[in-house]
Amino acid sequence: MKKSLFPKFISILLLICASGWIGYAFYTRNVHYRETRFLFDTEVYIEAHGWEAKQAGLQVLDRMGDLDAKLNKFKAGSELDKINQAAGQQPVEVSDLTFEVIAQSLQIAETTGGAFDPTVGPLMALWGFGSQEKQTVPSNKEISEYLKLVGYQKVILDQANKTVYLTRKGMMLDLGAIAKGYAVDQAVQILKEHNISSALVSAGGNIYTIGRRTNGSPWQIGIRDPASKEKIVGYIQLENQAIDTSGDYERFFWANGKKYSHIIDPRTGYPAQGVSGCTVIMPQAAQADAFATAAFVLGVDKGLDLIEEDNSPGVMIDSQGQMVLSSKMKELLIK
C-alpha cells in the first residue's frame, strides 16, 4: 500500500515558510535598524534605514562607546582623566578622536569669547555637578580661586605629536557640552559612508537627521517647554542638520529660594541666570552642542546675537517663559 505524500508535503511547506520568515527577519533587521544604549550619562538612540543598516548601526554604537570611554573625566584611565591628572606637569599623548574634539572645543571657545569653555571642570566640581558630590553654593572667595584654573587659553595643543597640556596644576577639562555632539557627528559620518539615506541619531538633547523618514515625510523634532516635561513650545522639520537644546530643567538644585543649574558661566564662576532653554540648529552636532551652551550662558539678548551672527535658526526661552526667535527660526518653528 502506498504511503501518503501529504505529511511530507506539509513538512516541506513548513520548512519553506520558516526559512521565509527567518529570511524576512534578517532582511528587516539589516535594512531597518533601531537601538538604544546608555552612553555619555544619557540615553543614546539610533534609527537607520537602508541596506547594511544593522552593520552601520553597530559600527556607530561601537564608535560612540569608544568616545564615551575616552572622554569620560570620571573614569580612571580615560584619556581625559590622564590629561586632567597631568595638569601642570606634562603633556599627554591622545588619540586622533580625542585630540580633534578638544581642538574643536578650543576653537568654539575662542569664537564665543569664552562663554563656552572646556576648562570649566574645576568650577563644575566646586558646585558639585557631574559627580556624587553634594551640590552647594560656594563662597565668593572659593569661586575667585577656582577661576584662576579656568581659561581655554591655558591649554596647549601639539598637532604634530597629538598631545594636550593643561598648563596649571588643578586645571580640568570638561567636555560635557560638546562630547555628545561630537559623537553624533561621528555617527553621521559612519552612516553616510554606508550610504544610509534615512536615519536619526540622538544623544540626550543632541539630534541629527539624515534625509527623510522611510515614508517620505520629514523628521519632526519637538522643542520642549522648560516649564513642563509633557509639553513642547513647537516643533521643526529637520533634514540633514543637527539640533541641540540646553536647559536648566534637568540638572539643578535650590538654595535659599534660588535655582542653580549645571550650566556654569566660565567667566564669572556662577551658574547662568535668566534663561530656561536655548535651542539651535546647525550643520554639525558638535557645533550645535557647544553653541547652545554658549548662547544660554550669554543670556537672551547676547545669546540671540551669537545665533544671528552665525546666521543659524535658534530660540531662546527666558526664565519667565518668554520665547524669542532668531530670524531663521521664525521661518521654521511650527507652533
**HSE-up of 265 (CA within 13 Å, CB side)?**
18
pLDDT at res. 261? 92
pLDDT at res. 29? 54
pLDDT at res. 15? 52
Q: Closest Cα partner for 322 from 304, 297, 310?
A: 304
Number of domains in the chain: 1
pLDDT at res. 18? 47
CATH value at residue 75: 1.10.3980.10
Q: What is the largest CA-CA distance in the chain?
A: 103
**CA geometry: angle at 205 spanning 48 and 282, to 5°?**
80
Identify the residue with better confidence: 257 or 168. Answer: 168
Which residue type, as a one-letter code, is found at position 235? Y
Cα–Cα distance between 295 and 275 in angstroms, integer? 9
- Residue 78 in any domain: the answer is yes
- Summarize pLDDT for 188-205 with one digit per residue, the tens: 999 999 999 999 999 988
Q: Is the pLDDT of residue 6 over 70?
A: no
pLDDT at res. 21? 46
Q: Is the pLDDT of residue 8 over 80?
A: no
* Domain range enclosing 102: 71-166
pLDDT at res. 133? 66
- Residue 95 in any domain: the answer is yes
The answer to whether residues 153 and 167 touch, using CB atoms and an 8 Å cutoff, is no
Cell 530656561 sits on residue: 276
Burial class (CB in 10 A: 0-12, 13-18, 19+), 273: middle
Cα–Cα distance between 11 and 267 in angstroms, integer? 75
The answer to whether residues 147 and 123 touch, using CB atoms and an 8 Å cutoff, is yes
Lowest mean pLDDT among 79-93, 103-117, 120-134, 271-285: 120-134
What is the number of other CB atoms lying within 10 angstroms of the CB of residue 18?
A: 10
- Summarize pLDDT for 75-119 with one digit per residue, the tens: 899 999 999 999 999 999 999 999 999 999 999 999 999 999 999
- Residue 255 in any domain: the answer is no
The residues, any chain, with a CB within 8 Å of residue 81's CB and separated by 6 or more, are: 72, 73, 74, 75
- Summarize pLDDT for 10-57 with one digit per residue, the tens: 555 455 544 444 444 444 556 899 999 999 989 999 999 999 999 999
**Residue 73, H or E segment:** none
- Residue 157 in any domain: the answer is yes
Q: Is the pLDDT of residue 131 over 70?
A: no
- Residue 47 in any domain: the answer is no
| Cell numbers standing for residue 274 | 535668566
